[in-house]
Amino acid sequence: MSKAIELEQLRKVFRVRERTHGVLGSLRGLVAPRTREVVAVDGVSFAIAAGERVAFVGPNGAGKSTTLKVLAGILRPTSGHVRVAGLEPGRDRGRLGYRIGAVFGQRSQLWMHLPAADTFDLLARIYELAPGEYRARRDELVRAFEIAEICEKPVRQLSLGERMRCELVASLLHRPEILFLDEPTIGLDVVAKATIRDLVRERGRRDGCTVLLTSHDTGDMERVCERVLVIHRGRLLLDRPVDALRKSFIPRKRISVVSEEVELALDLPGVRRLPSAPHRTELEVDLRAVGVDRVVTQIFARARVLDLSVEDPPMEEIVTAIYAGASADAAT
Amino acid sequence: MTAARVAIVTGKYLAFARAAARRALAERTVLIGRSVFLGVILFAFSRIWHVIGASSALPGAGERELVWYLAVSEWSVLSVPPLFLAIEAEVRSGDVACRLVRPVGYVGSQISEAVGEAALRLAVLGPSAALFAWALSGGFPADPRGLWFALPLGLVATLIAILFMAAIGLSAFWIIDTSPFFWIWQKLTFVLGGLLFPLELYPDWLQRIAHATPFPLMCWAPARMALGFAPRQALGSALQGLLWVGILIGLLVVMSRRARARLTVSGG
Amino acid sequence: MALRPTLRFARALVATNLRASLALRGAFWLQAAFMVANNLAFFTTWWLLFARFHDIGGWQLRDMMTVFGVVASGFGGSVVFGGGARRLSRMISDGGLDPLLVQPKPVLLHAVGSASTASGWGDMTTGVGMLYLAGRLDFETLPFVLLAAATSATVFVAVAVLFQSLAFWLGDVEQLSRQLWEFTLTFALYPRPLFSGGISFLLYTLVPAGFAGFLPVEVVRQPSLLLCLAALAAALGWWLLALGVFALGLRRYESGNHFSARG
């Protein structure tokens, strides 16, 4: 299979100017700025085959976005070898532009005061699409993303989820071979997150498009991707199929219950009580010992439940688990 | 109201003014920006008067006096904080409903804050205006005694401007966007107030119109004092200024009473 | 880069930009109308001065109207068609350039053409009105007027880009660059004979009112081939300078060492 993305020993070092105080300090800063080096990406290597959907996860500040920006040609690597769609992003940004699409969760490419459809028309010019081909593609995407009415309203009136659907359509119009998504579900509610995840997965499959998404939400990688790269402090910690990761590193769920009873006691194996408050019980469930369904059934049998939620443990905890696991891997 | 009560209320308003003055002092870029702007505009006009050879412009007032005139009028105009924006924002966001029930008059507290801020700006911009005027015109006006009158008249000028701005801000209860009102008011102040040069240089008919309005009180009245020593004129302007302060306070009382009625009707 | 697709993109960008600015119809008309009123109030000052003194350094009211006509048209054009130049510093410091960088079209053109200021229409209206009143819109002068306004607009955009690009090195410099830019406009609106010596040096460099105002105004006041060439050279020169500085800054941006880059 051909490689969509190849990365060898990528290093990216930022020189950050030290903040100086006072007028004199900032004057001195202008003449001879005091700088300090920050290693954002420290020797990361991986390859992604065409058509793969890969999640790039890690806690905030791990180096995900930096790597993504290097791949998209926005940042130049300090050292290392990078190839995207057979091109060198830093040097061939112009040509690469036609072949990749990108959505930056917090930076809109849509014109706020206009309907998204108008941005689509402009993008047709930017990517030099033939009118007939453009219309067919747009109509197909508008149907698939169910934005026929949404894309006729001014963008500023849309909800975050609706806007994100329009952003995705905007980045897919030119049939990119590779789609970069930087925190595509950030700030969305549960339903909107689920919708976006389904759409991205389906679209990737249908177009045969390579997807690389960054996220610090484990849900994004579980629902969208086949493979996951975990990055922490600028280093690649782990490269696994999502299934394998789930089994070995996300074996736990968090359940929190609000009940009329002051306290709630369960007697199932693999259920651990975390520090709780009166009427609010926090549980950690080891999925290798017991299924979530059995735990929930017992909770409902024993208590009058006012509220209940099931969540994945936060990313930071998974990274800690992976750290422990990775050193165990290395030992064997 | 007893004397003690008056002292307590006054103390509250003074506290607002002091806090606002401290805040204004912290916003150094604004102060520096306004000083630089003042210097630039003084420079440009000092060139105009120089090229015109304005010695013949007014009896007793030449290039130097005209530069000082502009320095004084810009000094008082640039010291006024954009109070209407603050009031409009609170009216629109609905925060005003909470503030109206505080034990201090809402409008009164806003005005105290603006006065505190203006006082600080007057104190900072005053020396820089004087310095620029002195450097650009090459000295003091022929009769510098008049400048002493400019100080209290400048205070009255900023107070009138602040009261106008409060009224513009409160109009947000009835109209959506108050900035058009502000622009019109500001341009009238510039033109009819005689911001850039004395009203004496205007055609007679326009002078008469201008003097029939309160606008000259915000620029011309203090700035005029740079042109010569005129105690009677100063006294006249001061009395007229205080009269307008009274009228505007009356207007504000009526407006805030109506606004409160509107709030209770629509439930905030 | 192929020229024709780029031109087609530029045309579509301008159309989209104007449509976006017209989308808020009420605000659009209000801003434009108020700018006309604002300009007229400002001009009243000059009218009063000339009514009293008739002559300032050899200039009459008609010359002042020409200054106002050319500069207001040019400035208005610059904020209507290149309104994005004023937001460049913020785009640089908050990552707003990123979406443009991954698209295969010139980044600066895209950024500059991505916003339009409605009040600029008011400026252009005032400008054309003043030129009409000054009797500068007759058939023979018209080409010179167009060249002058285009030069002024180009210099205004270029200068905005130049000042705002400082953000690549200094972080968010919006206040400072806006101030410098507004001084450029302020001085461009004064009669040229007021300034001489060291100050006029400043006015052709740090605060290039000379190129945004004085020079194009002369093209209309005393049209000559030489002045036309000078205006063209000025527009081109400032634009190239802006382009160069922006490109240099962009390189710094790519290295990630600009002020606010964070992984």
Instruction: Give percent above pLDDT 90 in chain C.
Output: 68
Would the CB atoms of C53 and B187 count as touching at under 8 Å? no
Distance CA C8, CA A179 (A): 26
Stretch among A47-51, A105-109, B193-197 having the lowest mean pLDDT: A105-109
**pLDDT band, residue A306 (cuts 50/70/90):** confident
Residue identified by tokens 């994005």 is C84
Distance CA C85, CA C105 (A): 17
Q: What is the pLDDT of residues C113-145, one digit of tens each?
A: 999 999 999 999 999 999 999 999 999 899 999
Stretch among A18-22, A160-164, C77-81 having the lowest mean pLDDT: A18-22
Assess whether pLDDT exceeds 50 at residue A294.
yes
Residue C197: the pLDDT is 80
Would the CB atoms of C102 and A73 count as touching at under 8 Å? yes
Q: Please provide the distance, in angstroms rounded to a whole number, between the alpha carbons at the two ends of chain A.
A: 31
Would the CB atoms of A121 and C16 count as touching at under 8 Å? yes
Give the strand pairing for A35-49 and A3-17.
antiparallel
Best B28, B34, B47, B63 member to test C by mutation, with max C CBs in 10 Å, is B47
Residues 98-117 of C with CB under 8 A from A: 98-99, 101-105, 114
Assess whether pLDDT exceeds 80 at residue B100.
no
Instruction: Give percent above pLDDT 70 in chain A.
Output: 89
Considering only CB atoms, which chain B residues are within 8 Å of C190?
A: 44, 47-48
Distance CA C151, CA C148 (A): 5
Amino acid at B9: V
Residue B104: the pLDDT is 57
Q: What is the DSSP letter of B56?
A: G
Contact status, residue C62 vs residue C222, Cβ threshold 8 Å: no
Q: What is the pLDDT of residues A131-182, one digit of tens each?
A: 999 999 999 999 999 999 999 999 999 999 999 999 999 999 999 999 999 9
**pLDDT band, residue A209 (cuts 50/70/90):** very high
The pair phi, psi for residue C113, each rounded to 5°, is -90, 10
SS3 label, residue A281:
strand
Residues 173-192 of A with CB under 8 A from C: 180
Assess whether pLDDT exceeds 70 at residue A23.
no
From the list A1, A10, A156, the residue with the least C-alpha distance to A83 is A10
- Give chain B's mean pLDDT: 87
Residue B268: the pLDDT is 42
Assess whether pLDDT exceeds 80 at residue A105.
no
Contact status, residue B116 vs residue B24, Cβ threshold 8 Å: yes
Stretch among A163-177, A222-236, A262-276, B233-247 having the lowest mean pLDDT: A262-276
Considering only CB atoms, which chain A residues are within 8 Å of C261?
A: 14, 75
The pair phi, psi for residue A267, each rounded to 5°, is -125, 60
Other Cβ atoms less than 10 A from the Cβ of C124: the count is: 23
- The mean pLDDT value for B178-186 works out to 86
> Residue C71 has which token pair?
């500069």
Distance CA C91, CA C68 (A): 31
Element spanning C109, H or E: helix C107-112
Residue C30: the pLDDT is 87
Residue B176: the pLDDT is 74
Q: What is the pLDDT of residues C140-160, one digit of tens each?
A: 899 999 999 999 999 999 999
State the nearest Cα–Cα gap between C21 and chain A, in angstroms.
8
Assess whether pLDDT exceeds 90 at residue A216.
no
Considering only CB atoms, which chain B residues are within 8 Å of C187?
A: 44
Q: Give the chain C residue whose CA is nearest to the CA of B40.
A: C183
Considering only CB atoms, which chain B residues are within 8 Å of C34?
A: 180, 183
Chains that touch B (3 or more CB pairs under 8 A): C
**pLDDT band, residue B82 (cuts 50/70/90):** confident
Task: Give this prediction's pTM.
Answer: 0.86
- The mean pLDDT value for B6-17 works out to 84
Give the strand pairing for A178-182 and A210-215.
parallel
The pair phi, psi for residue A173, each rounded to 5°, is -55, -40
**pLDDT band, residue C1 (cuts 50/70/90):** low
Would the CB atoms of C37 and B206 count as touching at under 8 Å? no
CA distances from A71 to A6, A26, A77, A81, A181 (A): 9, 34, 9, 11, 12
Residues 198-227 of C with CB under 8 A from A: none
Assess whether pLDDT exceeds 60 at residue C261.
no
Which residue has better confidence, A199 or B96? A199
Assess whether pLDDT exceeds 50 at residue B83.
yes
Considering only CB atoms, which chain C residues are within 8 Å of A90?
A: 254
Would the CB atoms of C48 and B203 count as touching at under 8 Å? yes
Which residue has better confidence, B257 or C229? C229
Q: Give the chain C residue whose CA is nearest to the CA of B202.
A: C48
Residue B181: the pLDDT is 85
State the nearest Cα–Cα gap between B202 and chain C, in angstroms.
6
**pLDDT band, residue B26 (cuts 50/70/90):** confident
Q: Work out whether the CA dihedral B198, B203, B204, B207 comes out positive or negative.
A: negative
Residue B101: the pLDDT is 57
Would the CB atoms of B52 and C175 count as touching at under 8 Å? no
**pLDDT band, residue C33 (cuts 50/70/90):** very high
- Give chain C's mean pLDDT: 91
Of B43, B51, B188, Cβ closest to residue C56: B51
SS3 label, residue C214:
helix
State the nearest Cα–Cα gap between C257 and chain A, in angstroms.
5
Contact status, residue C150 vs residue C136, Cβ threshold 8 Å: no
Considering only CB atoms, which chain A residues are within 8 Å of C259?
A: 17
Residue A332: the pLDDT is 43
Q: How far is CA C21 from the centre of its chain?
A: 18
Assess whether pLDDT exceeds 90 at residue B129.
yes
**pLDDT band, residue C227 (cuts 50/70/90):** very high
Considering only CB atoms, which chain C residues are within 8 Å of B40?
A: 183, 186
Would the CB atoms of B29 and C195 count as touching at under 8 Å? no
- Give chain A's mean pLDDT: 86
Checking phi first, is residue A234 left (phi over 0); if not, alpha (psi -120 to 50) or beta? Answer: left
Distance CA A307, CA A5 (A): 45
Residue C260: the pLDDT is 45
Checking phi first, is residue A229 left (phi over 0); if not, alpha (psi -120 to 50) or beta? Answer: beta
Residue B233: the pLDDT is 92
Residue identified by tokens 């979530």 is A292
> Residue A264 has which token pair?
């709630």
- The mean pLDDT value for A240-263 works out to 81
Assess whether pLDDT exceeds 50 at residue A330.
no
Instruction: Give percent above pLDDT 70 in chain C.
Output: 97
Q: What is the DSSP letter of A41?
A: E
Residue B93: the pLDDT is 76
**pLDDT band, residue A16 (cuts 50/70/90):** confident
Helices (H), chain B: 3-26, 28-52, 63-78, 83-93, 95-100, 106-137, 146-170, 179-193, 204-211, 220-223, 231-266
Considering only CB atoms, which chain C residues are within 8 Å of A119?
A: 16
Mean pLDDT comparison of A225-239, B25-39, C63-77, highest-scoring range: C63-77
Amino acid at A283: L
